Structure 1
């Protein structure tokens, strides 16, 4: 199965050939990078307190450590998906996996925050080669309609599962090893891929590729990156003039990109796809769902460790039932859409996730471990079902020979959601924390500055203070953080209502 094929252009029917054992083995191989890339989006949530202690980054640098990776991914996914369609999707997968493994090892031993951020940027570059390839290769392997739907469900489950178990993996590693171990997991995951993919995964590409449009690629990056940067700048209290400039660059670049793609006879992405309600609706729901999931993980992991006082692994175990719910309801959704239209299933799923946020918001300033457990179960169940079906609808509504570019759009929504989850919801928590924090008397200017930066900074300062003053600072910081969590929970619930409305409006005629 190592020869080049163009089966991605074969029509999808119930009479198409069924994939055999080797096809399902190829799916298992393709799940490895999927799990790793999505784990990397959230695994740092548990490592952040340790990184903050060892590398002492500023609040802004701390957000960049988390966001640099998905930001670069989001900016390059469509372009890399397009390259994969042209030069070979398996080839791009192998190049990206090799580079990702090497950079992960270097990032694990970064001596300062600046080099760690640089490592995360390069991981995003190589990660962008991996993700569109995995989903588009599935289209080449599974030609039978029912088999492909199941394969995409498994792939989507792995994608969401990686985000959910990232904190658990991080907690387990940090229980026994240094913070760099969360990056070293790339090596044992990707080595089997590099060995088995050439054997089990067939090469595929667009049989009629057009020329590489360098200007369109540049414009796609200039559309996504500045707008995300503007949101980040606004969330961290940056200058409004800079926000305005970034938004203007992103909007102008986006307009120029769309005009260029519409005029091109062989565009890297057919933007006319967005006229299809099922395609555009699924993309937006995908985006909103990931914002909710990653945003929740970002502040809940800090609450469990720094407010409740659990260690990293014990904190991860609290999220375990939610991870199980995510897996179960991903497959429940696949069976349910045989009887109920996808739009209704997705709407109900994201509303369940919204109830999870309300569970946190109704707890007031004292969010309990039980509330977090229940909230994460609801969010996991809802997001697991919604992600599975939205990914299926994206691929089903795209031309077969543009599978890589369409997959890139779907995963761009995912990575953009990961960035916005930490930027918007994480930034909101940070902003409210600073606004609500009332420092006790007796702190130096440096100590007060560190305490205002982040909750982790406040806890670190408190450890070096006399007992009474340290306790007062810890209590003030934890109370301020939880007030931010409550407000952010209501914002997450509102986001899920928006996603449900999108599902009912844009997917009302869509069928599985």
Structure 2
């Protein structure tokens, strides 16, 4: 029952990557608005996951799951019929508000059902596999819908899942509360949310319109607020983010893995869908089908990661994770204007091994490193690293592609989708636009690969060789003194 919301959130993410070219045609957002349609969900969820993890710990996780599912369903309904980019962005923000309640509460419920570390690791592996399975189901269902109906139909697939969950959860799920009395620190919520939004908006504005005083001021202000947020977490008695957990090298590397693996995955998934449809000219359904092999490998990798960790240890699993992702990104460098499907499939299959390990191992690390009463907050840290990485990847690496496109394309267009809408694929300059997009695509792939290699080297250096191999990456270290709990 708790896996229903997980499947729902994952399907939504993968369907949106696939639907963006049709959304661009349907309501004609600007390049900046297109990125916000993709990004706003991750920004809002990332900003509020830790908050709602704490709320669930204190006031009840079943109640929060029911409220969150209702809000998510309402946002999906509004998004499916959005007539303008602004309304679609607002609908996605409403969906994110609901989604921020679903993931940490679902993960906390799973952790409470399985107290044995090995069983918990396997259960979280299934949790991660369900999340990955959503990326298999989403493109297939979305491709079928988009080939027959308008783009808004992809949001309606959430409604049956929400309705079934709301009908069954009150009966099948018991209410569980943590042992964390007290109020949520509202200033911390505002500092983290506003700081992140300001910084990313400044970066996106600079990439689309060029560096100016406004973009610089936004980045500086947003970064400053995030710094104040971190400093505040060290001082207050009940922080949203327990900084002390990051003193464990294994925990820190795992959370960095969660952040940066999604940073790489989200950008590669979104930009690859644009490549398949806008550069190679494949239909929505064909593009969705091409994504299935990699998604299947990712799902299997998530399921099998706990067994892999039992055999080779968390250290070796994390190292394998990083270098397989790097190899997958390197394969994207061989794509071009006429061929590249095989390299794309090979990339998703090879990188899918690493992404599956990351999705499964990061969550288990976070939950296993803290007392049961803090399971929701710890799970929220893991999910926050994923969601913020997801949003940052699309925003920052998407903006990097925009910068390269603007530097290499001689016209005024800021992206290939915008160019196609205005000039058409039959225009003489389309080949130039294809080349400009590929230049940016290859720069993004190269940078993503370098990030993965750097993470692998960090894992080699920071994680001790005797790290436990029973599904708990922190097993070989003593618990951190979380003085703020």
Same fold at TM > 0.5 = yes
Instruction: For 2:280 and 2:303, locate their aligned partners in 1 and report how far apart those are by CA, in whole Å.
Output: 33
Per-residue CA deviations over 1:325-371 (Å, capped at 9, x if unaligned) read 11122233211111212121111122111111111114466551111
Does the CA-based 8 Å contact 2:12-2:158 persist in structure 1? no
Does the CA-based 8 Å contact 1:139-1:148 persist in structure 2? yes
What's 2:475 paired with?
none
What's 1:454 paired with?
415
**Aligned pair partner of 1:474 in 413, 430, 455:** 430
* Distance 1:340-1:234 versus aligned 2 partners, 3 A rule: farther
* Distance 1:488-1:265 versus aligned 2 partners, 3 A rule: closer
Shift of 1:162: 2.7
Per-residue CA deviations over 1:119-172 (Å, capped at 9, x if unaligned) read 111111121111111111111222222221111001112223334554343222
* Distance 1:253-1:459 versus aligned 2 partners, 3 A rule: closer
Structure 2 stretches of 5 or more lacking a match?
472-485
What's 2:115 paired with?
143
Instruction: For 1:366 and 1:191, locate their aligned partners in 2 and report how far apart those are by CA, in whole Å.
Output: 44
What's 2:7 paired with?
35
What's 1:305 paired with?
277
Instruction: For 2:149 and 2:155, locate their aligned partners in 1 and report how far apart those are by CA, in whole Å.
Output: 12
Q: Is the deviation greater in 190-199 or in 57-66?
A: 190-199
What's 2:194 paired with?
222
Instruction: For 1:505 and 1:204, locate their aligned partners in 2 and report how far apart those are by CA, in whole Å.
Output: 40
Per-residue CA deviations over 1:411-463 (Å, capped at 9, x if unaligned) read 11111111112112222222222222245xxxxxxxxx4xx132122222334
Does the CA-based 8 Å contact 2:415-2:437 persist in structure 1? no
Confirm whether residue 502 of structure 1 aligns to residue 474 of structure 2. Answer: no
Runs (4+) of structure 1 moved beyond 4 Å? 363-367
Confirm whether residue 405 of structure 1 aligns to residue 361 of structure 2. Answer: no
Confirm whether residue 98 of structure 1 aligns to residue 59 of structure 2. Answer: no
Per-residue CA deviations over 1:39-70 (Å, capped at 9, x if unaligned) read 22232122111111121111111111111111
What's 1:241 paired with?
213
Instruction: For 2:237 and 2:459, locate their aligned partners in 1 and report how far apart those are by CA, in whole Å.
Output: 32
Confirm whether residue 385 of structure 1 aligns to residue 357 of structure 2. Answer: yes
Q: Is the deviation greater in 204-213 or in 121-130?
A: 204-213
* Distance 1:95-1:181 versus aligned 2 partners, 3 A rule: same
**Aligned pair partner of 2:291 in 319, 330, 344:** 319
Per-residue CA deviations over 1:57-107 (Å, capped at 9, x if unaligned) read 111111111111111111111111111111111111100100110121111
Does the CA-based 8 Å contact 2:30-2:418 persist in structure 1? no
SS of residue matched to 1:268: coil
Instruction: For 2:250 and 2:202, locate their aligned partners in 1 and report how far apart those are by CA, in whole Å.
Output: 29
Shift of 1:236: 2.8
Instruction: For 1:226 and 1:398, locate their aligned partners in 2 and report how far apart those are by CA, in whole Å.
Output: 32
What's 1:490 paired with?
446
Instruction: For 2:146 and 2:127, locate their aligned partners in 1 and report how far apart those are by CA, in whole Å.
Output: 27
Instruction: For 1:155 and 1:165, locate their aligned partners in 2 and report how far apart those are by CA, in whole Å.
Output: 15
Instruction: For 2:61 and 2:250, locate their aligned partners in 1 and report how far apart those are by CA, in whole Å.
Output: 25
Instruction: For 2:441 and 2:233, locate their aligned partners in 1 and report how far apart those are by CA, in whole Å.
Output: 42
Does the CA-based 8 Å contact 1:42-1:294 persist in structure 2? no
SS of residue matched to 2:229: helix
Does the CA-based 8 Å contact 2:47-2:189 persist in structure 1? no
Q: Is the deviation greater in 92-101 or in 48-57?
A: 48-57
Per-residue CA deviations over 1:277-296 (Å, capped at 9, x if unaligned) read 22221111111111111111
Q: Is the deviation greater in 334-343 or in 92-101?
A: 334-343
Paired residue total: 468
* Distance 1:362-1:419 versus aligned 2 partners, 3 A rule: same
Does the CA-based 8 Å contact 2:57-2:180 persist in structure 1? no
Calculate the TM-score normalised by the size of structure 1.
0.87
Does the CA-based 8 Å contact 2:40-2:89 persist in structure 1? yes
RMSD in angstroms over aligned alpha carbons? Answer: 2.0
Confirm whether residue 344 of structure 1 aligns to residue 316 of structure 2. Answer: yes
Structure 1 stretches of 5 or more lacking a match?
1-28, 440-448
Does the CA-based 8 Å contact 1:141-1:202 persist in structure 2? no
SS of residue matched to 2:310: coil
Superposed counterparts of 1:360-375, under 5 Å: 360-363=332-335, 368-375=340-347
Calculate the TM-score normalised by the size of structure 2.
0.91
Shift of 1:213: 2.0
Confirm whether residue 421 of structure 1 aligns to residue 393 of structure 2. Answer: yes
Instruction: For 1:252 and 1:486, locate their aligned partners in 2 and report how far apart those are by CA, in whole Å.
Output: 32
* Distance 1:193-1:238 versus aligned 2 partners, 3 A rule: farther
Instruction: For 1:395 and 1:242, locate their aligned partners in 2 and report how far apart those are by CA, in whole Å.
Output: 41
Confirm whether residue 52 of structure 1 aligns to residue 24 of structure 2. Answer: yes
Instruction: For 2:337 and 2:435, locate their aligned partners in 1 and report how far apart those are by CA, in whole Å.
Output: 7
